[in-house]
Amino acid sequence: MATQNEEAASPKAALLIGALGIVYGDIGTSPLYTIKVALAGVGGPPDVEHVLGMLSILFWMLVVVASLKYVVCILSADNRGEGGTLALMELAMRGRTEKVRWRLILLGLIGASLFYGDSMITPAISVLSAVEGIGIVSHGLDPWIVPISAAVLVALFMFQSRGTGTVGRLFGPVMLLWFLVLGTLGAWRIIEEPQVLKAVNPLWAVRFIADAPLETFLALGALVLALTGAEALYADMGHFGRSTIRRSWFSAVFPALVLCYFGQGALLLSDPSSIRNPFFLMAPDWGLVPLVALATVATVIASQSVISGAFSMTRQAVQLGYWPRMTILHTSAREEGQIYLPRVNWLLMGAVLILILAFGSSDRLAHAYGFAVTGTMLMTSVLAFAVLPRGARGGRRLAWLALITVFLVIDVLLFSSNTLKLHEGGWLPLVVGIVLLVLMTTWKRGRQQVHDTLAGDHQSLGSFMESLEAYPPVRVPGTSVFMSMIVGTVPPALLHNLKHNKVLHEQALFLTIEVADEPYVPFGERLKVDRVSRSSWQAIARWGFKQEPNVPQVVGQIAQEVPELNLEPMQTSYFLSRQTIIVVRRLPWYKSWRRHLFALMARNASRSTRFYRIPPNRVVEMGMQMEL
C-alpha cells in the first residue's frame, strides 16, 4: 500500500513531467541549431579557443539570463499567479499616472507584438532543424527537407481544432525522454573529451571577449538562440505554478541543456568538421534515424506550445480591449485554458508555410528568430524594472535595481547584436511587430473614442427610467436585458427600441461587462446589482482578462440575488447596439487612414452575441451609425 508521502509525491511528479511538455518545448529544442549557427561565422573549422570561448559565454547566459533572470527573479512578478507580457504590463500600470500608463502600455504591446513574430518563426525553425537531420542520414534526402517540414506543420495546424488535451498528456513523457537523450548524448561526448569542461570557467568567456570583441558581439545574435522559449517559463506560470517551473528547470532541463551543449563542444574539439551539424553527429550511426524521429516530435511539441501561447495572448488582448472580438472555441469541457481561435490558427499556418518556403533552412531563419526573441526579452526587463522594486525598501530596493540594471544591459547587448541582422531576416519580425502594434493601438484608441462619444451624449439612467415610469409607454410582459457600455447612462439600444418599437418590457435590466486588471475574478466577487427604479436594475459584471464573459451565466446569478426580477429564459430578451463606423470624408488621408482602419476592424469583429454567449434567438440588435 502506498504511503501518504508517496501519494503526495505522485501528483507533484506528474506536474513536473507535465511542465516539461508544455513549458520547455521551445528552449528544449534550441540545441538543434544554436551551436551550429553560432560557430558558422568562424570561417572554417573552429579551434579550441573558439569552442571554449563560445561555450563559456553560452553557459553563463543560461545561468544569468535563463536561471537568474527568468526562473528566480521574473517569476516573482506574478499577477495573481499569472505571468506573461500583458499580465506584467497590467501589474506595472497599477497606481501610475495616465501618462506613465500609456508608456507602459506601449512597452507591453511591443513585447506582445514581437511575441507573434516568435510564434511564426518557432514552428518553422524548430521543425526545419529537426527534419534537416535526414540530410545527415543521406544527402539524397536533402530535397525532401522542406516538403516534409511543411507537411508536418500543416498536420499540426489542422489538428488544432480538435484540441490538445489528449496529445497534451503525451507531451510530458516525450519531452522527459528528449531531455534524457540530450543529457546522455552530451555526457557520452564529454567523457570522450573532458577538456571541454574548462568552459565552465568564466575566464574563457572574458578572454574570448577581450581577444575578439567585435566577433563576440556579432556572435551574441546567434548564442541568444539558446534562450528562445525563456519567455514561456514566465507566460506559463499560471498553468503550473512558480515552484513547479523552478524545480523542473533546475532538476532536469538546465542540466540536460548544459550537458548537450558541452557535448557538442566536445565533439567539435575532437572533430572540427562536425560543425555542419554537431547535434545529430553526436549520436552513433545506429541512433541517427531514431534521433531524427524524436527531434521531429519534440519540435512539434515546441511548435504546439507557441501556437497555444498565441491563442492565449490573443484572448487576453481581446479581453483588455486591444483587439476586436474574435471567435473563441473551447476544446475541453474541463480546462478553460484549452481554446482554439480559427482566424489566428489559419493566419499562423499561412505565415509559417511562407517562412519555410522563403527561407528554406534553419540557418537562414535563425537571423530573423533572434530579433523577435531579444525584443520580447528587453520589453520584459523594462516592465520588470517598474514592478520588482515596488514595495521594497532600503538595501533590498537597491539590490533589485542593480540586478535588473544588469539584466537590462545584457538584453540591450543581445538586442543590438540582432539589429545588425535586420537585412538578413530580422526585418521580418520587425515588420510583423510594427503592423500588429499599429492595429492594437488603433483599436484601443478607436474604442476609447467611441466610448467618449457615447459618454458625451449620455443621459442619467435613474432619472430617465423614473420619467418613463411616470409617463409609461406600452409595457409588455417579460424582461429586457440591455447591454450597456457606460454604467449609469441610458444605452442607445433602449432609445432606439422606444423610438422604433414604442414599447418597453415590464422589467428592465441594464448589464455592463467590465474586464479587471487581474487574470481571474472569483465567482463570488464578479457581480454588483443596484436598483435603478421600481422596475429596473443596473448590474456590473467583472471578469479577469484570462476569463471569457458569459452573459447567460451571470444573468442566472442575478436571478438568484434578485428574486423579484423575472429572468426566466423564455421571458427574457436581450437588446444590443451595433455601431456602424463612418469616417468623415473631408479629412485628408494622413488624418483619416487610422479611422478607416478602425472601421475595417470593427466590421470584421465577431458579433457580440457569440462573444458573450447570448442565445441568438433571444437577441434584438438595434443598429446605429457613428461618425468618427
Structure confidence by residue, pLDDT tens digits, 240-287: 778 888 999 999 999 999 999 999 999 999 998 888 889 999 999 888
Report residue 17 as a C-alpha cell: 513531467
DSSP 8-state assignment for residue 460 = B
Place of cell 432619472: 463
Q: How far apart are CA 553 and CA 551, in angstroms?
A: 5
* pLDDT surpasses 60 at 335: no
Please give the residue that has the higher pLDDT: either 361 or 527. Answer: 527
pLDDT tier at 3, thresholds 50, 70, 90 = very low
> What are the C-alpha distances in Å from 287 to residues 148, 261, 292, 586?
20, 18, 9, 70
- pLDDT at res. 7: 40
Percentage, residues of the chain above pLDDT 90:
30
DSSP 8-state assignment for residue 489 = B
41-49: long-range contacts, CB 8 A cutoff, minimum separation 24 = 41/215, 41/218, 41/219, 41/222, 42/275, 45/272, 45/273, 45/275, 46/268, 46/272, 46/275, 47/272, 48/269, 49/207, 49/208, 49/211
Q: How far apart are CA 365 and CA 34, in angstroms?
A: 12
pLDDT tier at 333, thresholds 50, 70, 90 = low
Q: How far apart are CA 284 and CA 257, in angstroms?
A: 19
- The answer to whether residues 246 and 392 touch, using CB atoms and an 8 Å cutoff, is no
- pLDDT at res. 540: 94
Place of cell 541512433: 287
Other Cβ atoms less than 10 A from the Cβ of 486: the count is 14
* Residue of 232, 198, 261, 203 whose CA lies nearest to 32: 261
* pLDDT surpasses 70 at 605: yes
The tens digit of pLDDT for each residue in 78-136 reads 777 777 788 888 888 887 878 888 888 888 889 888 888 888 888 898 898 888 888 78
* pLDDT surpasses 60 at 324: yes
- The answer to whether residues 109 and 441 touch, using CB atoms and an 8 Å cutoff, is yes
Confirm whether pTM is higher than 0.85.
no
* pLDDT surpasses 90 at 187: yes
- pLDDT at res. 57: 95
Least confident of 145-154, 157-166, 269-278, 378-387: 157-166
- pLDDT at res. 163: 63
- pLDDT at res. 6: 42
Amino acid residing at 119: S
Q: Across residues 534-563, what is the average pLDDT?
A: 90
- pLDDT at res. 4: 43
The tens digit of pLDDT for each residue in 75-90 reads 888 777 777 788 888 8
Beta bridge partners of 625: 580
Torsion, Cα of 454, 459, 461, 464 (10° steps)? -140
Amino acid residing at 83: G
Residues 6 or more apart whose CB falls under 8 angstroms from that of 53 comprise: 199, 204, 205, 207, 208, 209, 211, 216
- The answer to whether residues 608 and 325 touch, using CB atoms and an 8 Å cutoff, is yes
Report residue 43 as a C-alpha cell: 570561417
Q: In b/e form, how buried is each residue of 259-294, taking b as 16+ CB within 10 angstroms?
A: bbbbbbbbbbbeebebbebbbbbbbeeeebeebbeb
For the chain, give the longest Cα–Cα distance: 94
- The answer to whether residues 388 and 90 touch, using CB atoms and an 8 Å cutoff, is no
Average per-residue pLDDT for the chain: 85
- pLDDT at res. 392: 74
Beta bridge partners of 329: 340
Q: What are phi and psi of 79, to 5 degrees?
A: -100, 90
∠ Cα 430 434 436 (to 5°): 115
Percentage, residues of the chain above pLDDT 70:
94
Domains and CATH numbers, the chain: 13-441 (1.20.1740.10), 457-627 (no CATH)
Place of cell 512597452: 107
Total count of residues recorded for the chain = 628
* pLDDT surpasses 80 at 397: yes
DSSP reduced 3-state for 68 = helix
Q: Is 107 exposed, middle or buried (0-12, 13-18, 19+ CB in 10 A)?
A: buried
Report residue 346 as a C-alpha cell: 489559419
Residues 6 or more apart whose CB falls under 8 angstroms from that of 284 comprise: none
Other Cβ atoms less than 10 A from the Cβ of 479: the count is 22
Q: What strands lie across the sheet with 572-582, from one edge to the other?
A: 527-533, 536-543, 503-515, 474-483, 572-582, 619-627
The continuous run of DSSP H or E covering 626 comes out as: strand 619-627
- The answer to whether residues 113 and 436 touch, using CB atoms and an 8 Å cutoff, is yes
pLDDT tier at 469, thresholds 50, 70, 90 = confident
Q: How far apart are CA 141 and CA 432, in angstroms?
A: 33
> What are the C-alpha distances in Å from 527 to residues 320, 544, 567, 589?
19, 12, 16, 44
Most confident of 35-44, 326-335, 592-601: 592-601
* Three state DSSP letters for 497-566: HHHHCCEEEEEEEEEEEEECCCCCCCHHHCEEEEEEECCEEEEEEEECCCCCCCHHHHHHHHHHHCCCCC
- pLDDT at res. 5: 45
The tens digit of pLDDT for each residue in 476-519 reads 999 999 988 888 888 888 988 888 888 999 999 999 999 887 77
Cα Rg of the chain (Å, integer): 28
Q: Across residues 314-318, what is the average pLDDT?
A: 86
Most confident of 7-16, 363-372, 458-467, 583-592: 458-467
DSSP reduced 3-state for 82 = strand
* pLDDT surpasses 70 at 456: no
